[in-house]
Amino acid sequence: MTLADFRQTLDHETAPAGLGEHLLAMWYEARGEWERAHDIAQNVGTEEGDWIHAYLHRKEGDEGNAAYWYRRAGRPFPSGRSLDEEWEELVRHFLESGQ
């Protein structure tokens, strides 16, 4: 699946079959279902799940909490980068890694 393919699925009522937890969280986030995305990210239990968790709290506007999750994910706080840019980076990463 490409990023364009992934974006096209955002108009569907249900997530595409076979999405891993990481992409599923990003799918729900893009559809405005922050809580559902957060629940998934919180339960993934990996550094990449922590990255999603950080992004979600950054989007929420809670920079202190986001900074904590970026540290846990081993990633710098993305100062100067838009949320849209980071969303795309996350989705590309998970598509390329098959997650």
- Quick check: is 60 in a domain? yes
* Within-domain flag for 76: yes
pLDDT of residue 26: 97
* Domain span at 78: 30-97
Q: How many domains does the chain have?
A: 1
Residues 29, 37: contact at Cβ < 8 Å?
Answer: yes
Is the pLDDT confidence value at 75 over 80?
yes
The pLDDT value given to residue 97: 87
User: pTM of the entire structure?
Assistant: 0.93
Say if 25 falls within a structural domain. no
Dihedral angle computed from the Cα positions of residues 28, 34, 37 and 40, in that order, rounded to the nearest 10 degrees = -150
Residue type present at position 92: R
C-alpha dihedral sign at 46, 93, 29, 14: negative
**Does any domain span residue 15?**
no
Q: Answer yes or no: is 7 within a domain.
A: no
- Tell me if 2 is assigned to some domain: no
Give the model's pLDDT for residue 45. 85
pLDDT digits (tens, 9 = 90+) for 11-70: 999 999 989 999 999 999 999 999 999 999 999 889 999 999 999 999 999 999 999 999
